[in-house]
Every structure is written in structure tokens, then in C-alpha cells.
Structure 1
Amino acid sequence: MRRDLTALFDPASVAVLGASDDPAKYGHAVASQALRAPGRRPVHLVNRRGGTVLGRTAATSLTGIGEPVGLVVISVPQAAFEDSVEEALSCGAKAIVGITAGFAETGEHGLTRQRAIAERVRAAGAVLVGPNCLGIADNTTELYLASDTFTPGAVALLSQSGNLALELQLRLDPYGLGFSRFVSLGNQADVTLVDLVADCAAHEQTRAIAVYAEDFADGRAFAEAAATADKPVVLLTAGRGTASARSAKSHTGALTTSADVVAAACRDAGIHLVHTPREMAAVLAALQERPARGRRVAVFTDGGGHGSIAADAVEAEGLAVPELGADAQRELSGVLWEQSAVGNPVDLAGMGEQDPMSYARSVQALLAADEVDAVLMTGYFGGYAAAEGGLGGAGNVLGAAELDAAHTLAAHLARSPKPLVVQSMYPRSPSCQVLSRAGVPVYEAVEDAARALRALAADPVAGRAGVTPLPTAAAPLTDADYHGTRRLLEAAGVAFPAAREISSEVELLGAAAEFAGPYVLKALHVLHKSDAGGVALGLPDRDALVAAYRTMHARLGAPSYSVEAMADLSDGVELIVGVNRDPRFGPVAMVGLGGVLTETLGDVAFALAPVTAAHAEQLLRGLRAAALLDGVRGRPALDVTAAALAVERITQVAAAHPEIAELEVNPLLVSPSGALALDSRAVLG
């Protein structure tokens, strides 16, 4: 259920507690900003010493204002914070912005204080941003309660860094973008990132949500909120390269990192994951454009070098630069001269200097081609009309013609369903500004333009798997040994070979009589059995089984062993299916090429668990070794449907058992006739 944050973003009145005339104090900066719109709502400045602040009479307390206050910004020493919160609530405040630091970020004692404050605020029916935050701003309601001014626009910025917010503003400025809202997340004691994403998704004046987060708190809830938003969410985060908290007692634990988890959550939820402020700005600029219908890009240039580099950059983003068909090439040949290349990349080969309108005619032809989903124009366009540095400067004949071409392009794009992205050596030239005003993102770097195309090619609905809800928690697993785990998975419909647990040679002979060989013998309660020599395969008969048992037991002395029917491996491929419980995102599934080479090959994919069978098949088809599933060199195709169903069942079990830190089936043998789990392991948290 979405929280009502009206009191936060559009309060009836505002008070700044800790307002100051001292420019070195944060209360001075916030008070200065608050006074930018005194006509929108009453703004009260409060300083314990009284007097005047910024030329206005300051109250000595919130109570001294003499009337209820809707929102209170608290910027006081941390020892006085609790009393200030109490005073704000007693004065009717329904929203508090806590600038004061010194709480959860300082350790357990600070966390305890912070939790008590948040509970008090919620009990009063109010909301709290922070503490330890840098304020908020809402340009749509003229609410300015941060230390800096943010250019108005349609991007809501939710950030754990003030400096990164300022850098993003500088990087968005060339694209003509600004902010609808800015919220410094702080410690998220009460109002969380999830609350803010949900509220900004419903905010009419916000078209995109930008997030910089170091601590997601409830990462899964964040992914769910983004997945249900009807607006793009762009995420920049730090610390993705460090290993997540885990026991690392399985291949799944050893291979799963924070980077994998965040990337999987973003892909499933349809979040645009970026790595730098510059990339975030590039993607946000692109998202003002119409989306592409597919991943096929036509590269159009006025120089071979620019075209080749751009094509490489586009393909590096996972997009295609296909050769144009005969009809499209014939159409282009009709508007270009003989030496122009029309295959893709399409190269004017100098024609632009003779006729700048050739840019417009070529782009129009490319946008009309059936085999093209988007166009990247790269190179010199903009240089003819550039004020300086171009082939003659402003006012020259070529410059005027280039401006005409830009206006022609802008008019055509208004009727085209396909996007155009531009990289120019002169991105701020008059011609490029014409395109920018028409909604075309113009980039200085070709890698930014290519990244923009990837953002436009990501279908905001069909391209996301979504976040499957967690199932109701099942009765806790108490027997997490090898056969206990097998029984749990078998009850969920996962197929295993026949097996019996034994602890003596007599029991071994009894198991051998229950099913025919060949046999497998496994030493139980041994970590990574294969590496320890605790697995013997293909034992043809009872005598071979007994001999293997005696040798293995003399060497390992395991308390028990498993005797199993040997599966037919001849036409199968071994996969791994694992689930690792992340402290922020909950259960995370891993599927990939399995067996003893799992960690060596590292051909794996991740998703938030549980995973549906349809999503599981997508993950399997995306592996580097996916061709093996369809049969190679005369081998039959495998039953991928059965493998995907097994993934669904395994991940559903793990998601229903929060006490399981890791659950792994390795290998899962996929053959032409089905899927069979050959080994499993569970680690309790």
C-alpha cells in the first residue's frame, strides 16, 4: 500500500529549526532556500537564541510560532534531536526532514535511538525523511528545503549523495533536463527509497525516476516498486563489485556477488542500471525519446572512421547493425551520390559538404526502412552551423543549409514512430540545438549515444520478467542433510535417481539388491564431494560397489554414504541450479552450466527467486553454451522445457524456506527425455 506523502512534498507551512545567519551552518543554507517561495506557504525560521535570521524575526521555539506547522526541517545538534522531534509533533507537524546526523551510521546505540524516533513519528501519523540527510526539494510545489537550487524539469532524483546530485544536474543541463523533485535519502529511518519510488511513480509531473543508492534496505521491495511503476527507473549504485554476505559453502555461494544480484534485480524489474553519473545522464536523456521497436540500428555518418567506431560501440551494447536490404539500399542510392556507402554503416562520403540536406533525406530513408528500428547519426553534423570551429562559422551558406536540414529532420521525426539518436563533434551548435528541442538526444561521445540506444531498445514491459511474489513460508526444514534435502525437493516434483543412505557394508548390500546397477557411491557430510574423492561413478555391479565402498571408507571415514542408480549421461548436459539468500534482495537464483567445472567455466545467469518456468527458459537460452541445449554435432536436442520446470520447482522450494541460506542442485542432468537431479545440497542460515 502506497504511503501518502502529501505532507512531505506539499505542506501547508514550513519551519526550519536551526535556521542560522552563519553561512558555515547547514541551517543557513536550508533557510535561504526555504525563503525562495514565501508566497506559496508560510515559512517560519526558528533559532533558540531568537533575534533575526536572514533579515526575518526568528522564533525561539516551534511552540513560539503560535500556530500549527505542517513540515519541520530539523538541523540541530544530535543531542537535541529527540526533543526537537517531540516539539514538532506537538505543534501538529505531519512531516519532518531530519538533517541532523549521529544515528544509525554511528553504530548500534545510534541505531537504537533512530528506531525509537521513527516509531514515535509513525505513532503520531507523521512521516520522517532522514535523519542524516541533506534535505528535499519539489519544484512542482515550490518547496525548497535543500542547500542547493535544482533546475526544474521532469526527473525525480532520490539520492544518498548530495555531491552526486549536483554532478548529475550539471550533466543533465546540456540535454535541457531538470528535476521535478530531489530527496536526500539519509538513513531511511521511516520514509524509505521504496516509499519514494512509489510516490514519484504516481507524481504527474515526474516522467523518470533517477536513484543513487548505496543501501537499498529492502532491495526486493525496491525492485517490486520499480517493476510496477509506469515510468522508467534509472539506478546508479556503489559497491556492486564486492561479494555479498553468504556462507559460500556451495558453488552458488561462491559465484554469487552483489553485482550479480543487483543486475538480476534490475533486469527482472525493468530498471536501467548505469555505472557512472555520465551514463545516467545519457540514459535519462534518451528516455525522453520514443522507444525503439527492436534492436536493429542503422548507423549513418559523414566519415568512414566515425561510422566504424559507432558500429562497434552499438554492437558492444548488444544491439545489431545489420546490412540493409536491397530495397533500402536502392532508396538510399537514389538520394546519395555514387561514392556513398549504403550497406550499414551508411556513409555520405563527403556529400554533406555539397548538400547538407542530404543528412535529412538519408535519415528519413533509414527511418522508413523495415529492417531498421532506430538510427544513430554520428560525426560532423552541427559543424557547418557552429559558431566557431566549423567549416566557416555561423552565417555561412553551409551553416544555413544545415539549419534547414535540422528543421526538416525535426518535422519528419514528429511523424516517425522510430527514434533518432545523434552524436556530434559540435553538440551545442545551432543545428544540434534544433534537434534537441525536437526531443532528439544529442551526445558528444559515441559511447553515450550507443548506451542511449540500448536504453531505448529495452522494452519497458515485455522485456522484463517481473518480480515473482515470494510464496507463503513453509514449515521449516529441520533435516538439511543430503537425503533430507532430496526428500524436500522430490516432494516438490523434482526427479532424482533411486537412492538409499547406508552406514555399513551390510546396508550397502541391501541397497544394491533394491535396484540394478550401474551404481554411484557418494560419501555424505563431505564438503564438495567430487573434489575430495567422495564420488565413485559407473560402478557396474555389486562387487565393484563393495570395492569402491571399502576404499572410500578407508580413506574418508564418512559417517554415511549414498548408493544411487547411475543415470545415463551419454546424451545429456549437466546444469547447475542454485538459490542464495541475499540480505537485501532475498532469494536469488542461479542457473548455468554445471558439474565439476561450474566455477571454472562461470557460465551462469541470475534472477530473483522464485523463477517461473518461462523465465528459466529465457535464462538458459541466454547462456554462452546455450547451443548445447539444441544439440550439436549430431547430438539430439534436450528437453529444455523439463529443465525449466525443474528450475521453477527448485527455486520455489528455496523461496518458501527462509531458513535455507543456500540450496543447490548440481548437476541437474538434462537429456532428450527429461531432467534429473543428480546431487543436491542445502545450507541452513
Structure 2
Amino acid sequence: MRRDLTALFDPASVAVVGASDDPAKYGHAVASQALRAPGRRPVHLVNRRGGTVLGRTAATSLAEIGEPVELVVISVPGAGFEAAVDDALACGAKAVVAITAGFAEAGAAGLARQRAVAERVRAAGAVLVGPNCLGIADNTTELYLASDRFAPGGVALLSQSGNLALELQLRGTPHGLGFSRFVSLGNQADVTLVDLVEDCAWHEGTSAIAVYAEDFGDGRAFARAAATAGKPVVLLTAGRGSASARSAQSHTGALTSSADVVAAACRDAGVELVRTPREMTVVLAALSAGPGRRTQEPRTHEPRTHEPRTQGRRTAVFTDGGGHGAVAADAAEEAGLVVPELGAPTQERLRTVLWEQSAVGNPVDLAGMGEQRPLSYADAVGGLLGADEVDAVLMTGYFGGYAASEGGLGGGPAGGSVLAEGETRAAKEIVGHLASAPKPLVVQSMYPQSPSCRVLAEAGVPVFSATEDAARALVAMTGRGAAGPTGVPPLPPAAVPLRDPGYHGIRALLAAAGVPFPPAREVTDEAGLLAAAGEFDGPYVLKALHLLHKSDAGGVALRLADRDALLAAYRDMHARLGAPAYSVEAMADLTDGIELIVGVNHDPRFGPVAMVGLGGVLTETLRDVAFSLAPVPAERAEALLRGLRTAPLLAGVRGRPAVDVTAAAAVIERITTVAAAHPEIAEIEVNPLLVRPDGALALDARAVLH
């Protein structure tokens, strides 16, 4: 259930405890900001010495105010923090913003103090942001309780770094980005990142949610909140989360990193994961753009899952110079876009508006026509936007230079007034074409601040100076394509805990869920071996049990044609390894088969996380794997498999038939559902999962309990 944070973002009254005239103290900065909107709500300043602060009479305590205060900001030394919280609750506070530090970040004793305070706040029916935070601000309610000002706009910024928030504001200004809210997360003792994402999803003044987080708390709950927010969520995180403490007793454990887990959660939830503040600004500018942006319809009862205007990534690169076009095409493909050659009908239509030497294959190059006829820019863009085979357009190069020269910015041809006028007209016509064919359009210009580029920017077209930024923006504006459907699957009900983590116990657990295996029997001596061989026909497989990498240790013998070969292999293996038990199995038909791996690790932040990829003995060497939160629906599993580098093998190469990827995806769903229903399993792995043209068969399985 979404928590009610009204008292936090739109309180009836505010008090700043620790307000000060000393500019070196944080209580001075917060009090100064709080007084920016004195007509919106009563703002009380509290300083234990009384007197005046910032020219206003300060109360010596909250009790001295003589009336209830709904939100209290506490910026006092740590020794007086608990008493200040108690005073706030006693005066009826429903929200507390705790600037004071020295709690969980200071060690076990501080964590115990923090938990005790949070319990008192919750027991009083109030909410607490922090401690160890830098305040909050809400431009939509004129609530200013942070040390800095934030330009108004549609981005809600939830951050564990104050300086990073300032950098985002500086970087966002040229793109017209502003903020609806700012919340410094602090230690999240009570109000968590999840609570804030859920509240911002319902906030009418917020169109996008930007997050910088070092600690997700409940990572799966964050992913679920982001997936259902109904508006874009952009995440920047340091180190991609805390690394899990794993024994790495399987390929899955060895291959999975914390970065993989965070990236998988973001992909599943539809979150835009970025690496730097610059990239975050680029993505936010793209998602805040006009045509092609992710929109939000009026909300009735529940947030609506946002969808991009287009899910295609077929990109037309349009330039006025061959070099810019080639660089932009490379940048687009490296970012994950597709730059295909345009079809003959589209090329012919372009030739009717461009001159003979113009290139129309893709990239489309004016080849100097812009200087002769600036409106050719608009003609070409209009033709590309109107082509069914084009999902998005990246315009790159000199556009903006003619008007820049006229405006005194330099770099344009001499006598450019006529060209400047024509370029501005071209910009306006491009806007008109975009209204008729609303597809994602991004511009990279050598002159992004020129008058003609401002025409585009004011109409909602993202304009960047760097080619790589333009390409990244276009990725954000287009669909996820091969990443498959988004959404965080619910965890199944917990099953009866597993008692037998041995090889045959895991086989039985998975087989009961519908995972197919070849016939097999566990044996401990020659008599049992021969009895097992009598239950099914050869050829046989013999495996030594209780070994981590059986193949490397010589603990697997394949294609044993008959009982005599099986017995000879057993005697040799037992003499070398002395394993306490062995498994006798029917040899699967490997003809035309591909070996996959399916594993699930239990991450402390995000819960069960699945890995699928190319399997067999070379799994760790090739590292062709993909990750997703478990359980993995079959549709998503199939998308993950088809997105592997080695996916062409699944479709059949060099005369080999295609394998049954749909059957493999169904088995992946069953395996990951079992793992998700057993939280006591730290790692579970099926390797290999043999996929043939006629279905899928699990050939080996293992698990590690917590």
C-alpha cells in the first residue's frame, strides 16, 4: 500500500530546529530556503538560544511556538537529536526531516539509535526522511527545505548525493530541464526509496523520476515500483549495487556480478540505467522531449505503465557532410540502434527533393545542398519521417551554423543572412513535419545554441553537441525491442523447504515441476550399477556425484554402449575418484542439439536472479549469458535467448536445423519458478539444458543451500 506522504511534501506548517545565523551551519542554509515562500504556510525557526535568526524571532523550543507544527526539520548536534524528535512528535508533527548525521553510517551503535528513533516516529503515525540527509524541496507546493534552489520542472530527483543533484541541475539547464521535487535519501531509516518512487508516480507535477542510489534497500520492491510508476524512471548507481556474498559453487555464482543484477532488474522494470550524470541528463532530456516522448495520461485509480511512442530502432541518419554521417551511424549502432539501407521506394522519394550528388542510402547526405537551398534540410527530414521503414531519425552536422554565423556565434559562411533566414524556416518546417509524422527525432549540431536549433528545442526536439549523446537520447526515445516485455514477476508462494540438495534430490524437485530429464538411478556399488542398467537401454552416462566440476575431474563418462562398457568405466572412475555415489543415466541424443545453462542466484537486495546462456563445459570461458529477475516468464526467457551473441546457433547454421527455443523457454520458466519458490536455495543450476529441434532436456542439475 502506498504511504501517505502529504505531510512531507505539502505540510500545513514547518519548523526548522537548529536554525542559525551562522552561514557555516546547515541550519542556516535550510532556514534561508524555508523563508522563500512565507505566504504559503507558517514557517517557524527554532534555536535553543532564542533571539533572532535571519531577522525573525526564534523560538527556544517547539513547545514555545504554542501551536501544532506538521513538518519539522532537525539540524542539531547528534547528542540532542532524540530529544528533538520527541519534541517534534509531542507538538503533533506528522513528518520529520532529519539532517543530523552519526547513525547507521557510523556503526552498530548508531544503527541501533537510528532504529529506535524510526520506531518511535512510526508509532506516532509520522514519517521520517533521513537521518543523515540534506533536506527536501517541492517546487509544486513551494516547499524549500534544502540548502540549494532547484529550477522548477517535471523531474523528481531522489538522490543520496547533494553534489550530484547540483551537477544535474547545471547540466540540465541548457536543455530546459527542471525539478518538481528533490529528496535527499539519507539513511532511509523510515521513508525509503520505494516509498518515494511510489509517491512520485502519483504526483501530478512529476513527469519523470531520476534516482541516484548507493543502497536500494529492497531492490525488488524498487524495481516493482519503477515498473508500475506510469512514467520514466532513470537510475544512476555507484558500483551497480552491493556485491552479493557468494560461495561461487556453480557457474552461475562465478558469472553473476552485482552489476549484472542491477542491469537485469532495470531491464525487467523498464528503468533507464545510466553510468554518469551526463548520461542521466541526456536521457532525461530525451524523455522530456516533445514528439516521441513517453507520455502520461490522466490518472484515475492506478498508475499506468509507460510505453514509448515507437518500439522500433530502425534509424535514418541524416547529415550534411559525409564525416558526420559516418560517425553518427557508428555511434547509433554502438548504442543499440539499427541503421539499415533504405529501400528503393524511399530512396526514389528522397531523390525527388535532393540533388543528384546527394546520398540517399543511409546515411542520407545533402552533400552541400544545404548551402544552396536550406529548406532541403526540412525536405529530407520530412521524407524520412514519412517512410514506414524508418522508426527514428538522427540529424547530425552543420545545421545551425548559418543562423549561428548571422547571430555572431562564428563558423558560418560569409554573407549568411539569407542562409540564416532559410535555415530558421527549415527548422520551422521540420517541426511541422514532426507534427504530421510524430517519430523520435534527435539533432546533433555543431551549434546547439543557434537560433534555428532553439526553434527545434522549443518544439520538443532534443538537441546535443555530442554525437554519442544524440545516439543515447534516441535509444531512450525508442523501444526496448529485443529486451522483451517489461515487468517484475511476482514471487510464487514459498514451497516446503528442500531437504535433499543432492543431485537426485534436485532432479526430483525439478522433474516434479515439469522439467524433463533422461532416466537415471543413483548407485553406490557394482550391483546397483548393473541393476540400474537393466532398467533402461544404453548407451549410458556415468557421473561421479558430489564433485563441483565433474567433467574437469574426469567424473563423467559418455556414450557407454553396453553394460560391460558401463562397468569398466565405473571401476576406472571409482579407482581414481573414490566418490561415495554415482549416477547411471540414459545417454541423450545430442544430434543437432545446443547446450544451454540455466541458473538462479539469490541476491540479498533483489531476491532470486536468473541467468541463461550458452552452456556446457565452456560456459565460463565464453560468458555468453543474460540475466533477469526470477521467475522468468517464458516470453521473456525466449527474448533473452534470442538476444545472446550466439543466438544464430539456435536458428540453425551451416545446414543444421533450428532448435526449439520455445520449448527451452518453457523449461526456463519452470526452473526459475522452482528456484523462486525456495528461498532456502542460494544457487541452483541446470547445465547443460540440451535443446534440440524436437524439444529440451535437462542433462545435469545442482543446488547449494544457504
TM-score class normalised by the smaller sequence: over 0.9
Equivalent in the alignment of 2:151: 151
Equivalent in the alignment of 1:121: 121
Moved more, 600-609 or 628-637: 628-637
Q: 1:463 to 1:670 in 2, by over 3 A?
A: closer
Matching of residue 193 in structure 1 with residue 193 in structure 2 = yes
Matched residue SS, 1:335 = coil
Equivalent in the alignment of 1:313: 331
Q: How does 1:178-189 map to 2 (within 5 A)?
A: 178-189=178-189
Shift of residue 241, structure 1, vs aligned partner: 8.5
C-alpha separation between the residues in 1 aligned to 2:241 and 2:18? 40
C-alpha separation between the residues in 2 aligned to 1:586 and 1:24? 43
C-alpha separation between the residues in 2 aligned to 1:156 and 1:599? 41
Q: TM-score, normalised by structure 2?
A: 0.95
* One-letter code aligned to 2:487: G
Q: Contact between 1:270 and 1:461, CA under 8 Å: does it hold in 2?
A: no
Equivalent in the alignment of 1:468: 489
Equivalent in the alignment of 1:17: 17
Equivalent in the alignment of 1:106: 106
Moved more, 27-36 or 370-379: 370-379
User: Which consecutive unaligned segments of at least 5 residues does structure 2 have?
Assistant: 293-308
Equivalent in the alignment of 2:612: 591
Please list the CA deviations of residues 280-312 of structure 1 after superposition, one character each: whole Å capped at 9, or x if unmatched: 111111112313351111111111100110011
Match among 292, 311, 329 for residue 347 of structure 2: 329
Q: Contact between 1:241 and 1:257, CA under 8 Å: does it hold in 2?
A: no
C-alpha separation between the residues in 2 aligned to 1:318 and 1:524? 44
Please list the CA deviations of residues 233-253 of structure 1 after superposition, one character each: whole Å capped at 9, or x if unmatched: 111111139753322100000
Equivalent in the alignment of 2:172: 172
Among all aligned residue pairs of Structure 1 and Structure 2, give the percentage whose two residues are the same amino acid.
79
Q: Contact between 2:20 and 2:53, CA under 8 Å: does it hold in 1?
A: yes
C-alpha separation between the residues in 1 aligned to 2:85 and 2:485? 42
* One-letter code aligned to 2:507: R
Counting matched residue pairs gives: 685
C-alpha separation between the residues in 1 aligned to 2:482 and 2:388? 23
Match among 349, 358, 374 for residue 340 of structure 1: 358
Matching of residue 373 in structure 1 with residue 394 in structure 2 = no
Equivalent in the alignment of 1:288: 288
Matching of residue 301 in structure 1 with residue 319 in structure 2 = yes
Q: Contact between 1:242 and 1:257, CA under 8 Å: does it hold in 2?
A: no
Matched residue SS, 1:153 = strand
Please list the CA deviations of residues 495-553 of structure 1 after superposition, one character each: whole Å capped at 9, or x if unmatched: 11111111122222222222222111111111211111111111112222222222211
C-alpha separation between the residues in 2 aligned to 1:39 and 1:243? 48
Shift of residue 110, structure 1, vs aligned partner: 1.5
Equivalent in the alignment of 1:278: 278
Q: Contact between 2:483 and 2:643, CA under 8 Å: does it hold in 1?
A: no
Equivalent in the alignment of 1:209: 209
Matched residue SS, 2:613 = strand
* One-letter code aligned to 2:689: L
Q: Contact between 2:614 and 2:625, CA under 8 Å: does it hold in 1?
A: yes
Matching of residue 353 in structure 1 with residue 371 in structure 2 = yes
Q: Contact between 1:157 and 1:165, CA under 8 Å: does it hold in 2?
A: yes
C-alpha separation between the residues in 2 aligned to 1:553 and 1:327? 70
Q: Contact between 2:484 and 2:635, CA under 8 Å: does it hold in 1?
A: no
Equivalent in the alignment of 1:544: 565
* One-letter code aligned to 1:306: H
C-alpha separation between the residues in 2 aligned to 1:636 and 1:532? 33
Q: Contact between 2:73 and 2:97, CA under 8 Å: does it hold in 1?
A: yes
Moved more, 584-593 or 526-535: 526-535
C-alpha separation between the residues in 1 aligned to 2:2 and 2:415? 53
C-alpha separation between the residues in 1 aligned to 2:329 and 2:683? 42
* One-letter code aligned to 1:475: V
Q: Contact between 1:201 and 1:230, CA under 8 Å: does it hold in 2?
A: yes
Matching of residue 431 in structure 1 with residue 452 in structure 2 = yes
Please list the CA deviations of residues 423-474 of structure 1 after superposition, one character each: whole Å capped at 9, or x if unmatched: 0001111111111110010001010000011111125999533111000000
Matching of residue 405 in structure 1 with residue 426 in structure 2 = yes
Equivalent in the alignment of 1:635: 656
C-alpha separation between the residues in 2 aligned to 1:217 and 1:2? 17
Q: 1:540 to 1:465 in 2, by over 3 A?
A: same
C-alpha separation between the residues in 2 aligned to 1:293 and 1:414? 19
Give the root-mean-square deviation of aligned CA atoms. 1.6
Matching of residue 391 in structure 1 with residue 412 in structure 2 = yes
C-alpha separation between the residues in 2 aligned to 1:424 and 1:304? 14
Matched residue SS, 2:216 = coil
C-alpha separation between the residues in 1 aligned to 2:652 and 2:160? 49
* One-letter code aligned to 1:207: S
* One-letter code aligned to 1:55: G
User: Which consecutive unaligned segments of at least 5 residues does structure 1 have?
Assistant: none
Please list the CA deviations of residues 39-68 of structure 1 after superposition, one character each: whole Å capped at 9, or x if unmatched: 100011111111111111111111111110
C-alpha separation between the residues in 1 aligned to 2:464 and 2:409? 18
Moved more, 665-674 or 389-398: 389-398
C-alpha separation between the residues in 2 aligned to 1:556 and 1:681? 19
Q: Contact between 1:629 and 1:637, CA under 8 Å: does it hold in 2?
A: yes
Equivalent in the alignment of 2:33: 33
Q: Contact between 1:393 and 1:399, CA under 8 Å: does it hold in 2?
A: no
C-alpha separation between the residues in 1 aligned to 2:223 and 2:3? 17
C-alpha separation between the residues in 2 aligned to 1:421 and 1:339? 25
Please list the CA deviations of residues 632-679 of structure 1 after superposition, one character each: whole Å capped at 9, or x if unmatched: 222232222221111011000000000000000011111222211111
C-alpha separation between the residues in 2 aligned to 1:560 and 1:671? 30
Q: How does 1:34-49 map to 2 (within 5 A)?
A: 34-49=34-49
4+ residue stretches of structure 1 with deviation over 6 A? none
C-alpha separation between the residues in 1 aligned to 2:20 and 2:237? 34
C-alpha separation between the residues in 2 aligned to 1:371 and 1:124? 60
C-alpha separation between the residues in 2 aligned to 1:343 and 1:588? 43
